[in-house]
């Protein structure tokens, strides 16, 4: 398990950018943290690291935003409005757990069991990330990789 403290939204984006440069096809990154913790900031950096030039925004109302055009396609999911596994299946989101690109899931704690099973079944890289607000500008970002 690795922990980083970021001192601004820019630093959070830079961390995501480093992850994007290192990302490989099939990676799934699950983000957990309160509203306003910086999950979307991290995804903005990740997209930049992948070479995505489109404007990145949270898909809270659409559930999924796809960003082609980078080194790998980025799938950005937001599960805030979904509470059960049944709702996630009904929304057709299971396919994103085995991406042809990189999937980032905000509110990933809602699919933790599915992520664990897909990781074991498909030998996929899964990064579980927790973002904790320390104060107005600082975030504690803890992450752990499994699989692949």
- Domain definitions of the chain by residue range: 2-146
Instruction: Please tell me the predicted confidence (pLDDT) of residue 59.
Output: 78
Reading the chain (148 residues) residue by residue, the pLDDT tens digits are 999 999 999 999 999 999 999 999 999 999 999 988 999 999 999 999 999 999 998 877 788 999 998 999 999 998 888 877 778 778 887 778 778 899 999 988 867 666 555 555 555 678 999 999 999 999 999 999 886 5
* Residues paired with residue 31 on neighbouring β-strands, in sequence order: 106, 129
pLDDT of residue 115: 58
The sign of the CA dihedral 18, 55, 39, 75 is negative
pLDDT at position 142, please? 97
- Overall fold of domain 2-146: Rossmann fold (3.40.50)
Task: Look up tokens 């927790």; give the residue.
Answer: 130
**Helix residue ranges per DSSP H, the chain:** 9-22, 39-50, 85-90, 112-122
Contact 105, 98 (CB under 8 A): no
- Residue at token pair 């599915």: 114
* pLDDT at position 146: 80
User: Cα(first)–Cα(last) distance of the chain, in Å?
Assistant: 16
Q: Counting Cβ atoms within 10 Å, is residue 90 exposed (0-12), middle (13-18) or buried (19+)?
A: exposed
Q: What is the pTM of this model?
A: 0.88
15-27-110 Cα angle (round to 5): 90
């Amino acid at each position: 398990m690795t922990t980083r403290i970021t001192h601004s939204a820019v630093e959070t984006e830079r961390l995501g950018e480093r992850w994007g440069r290192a990302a490989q096809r099939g990676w799934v990154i699950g983000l957990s943290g309160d509203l306003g913790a910086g999950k979307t900031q991290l995804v903005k950096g990740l997209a930049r690291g992948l070479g995505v030039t489109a404007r990145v925004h949270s898909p809270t109302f659409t559930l999924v935003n796809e960003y082609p055009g980078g080194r790998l396609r980025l799938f950005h999911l937001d599960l805030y409005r979904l509470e059960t596994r049944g709702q996630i299946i009904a929304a057709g989101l299971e396919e994103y757990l085995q991406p042809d690109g990189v999937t980032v899931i905000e509110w990933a704690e809602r699919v933790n069991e599915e992520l664990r099973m897909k990781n074991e079944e498909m030998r996929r890289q899964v990064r579980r990330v927790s973002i904790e607000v320390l104060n107005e500008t600082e975030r504690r970002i803890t992450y752990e990789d499994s699989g692949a």
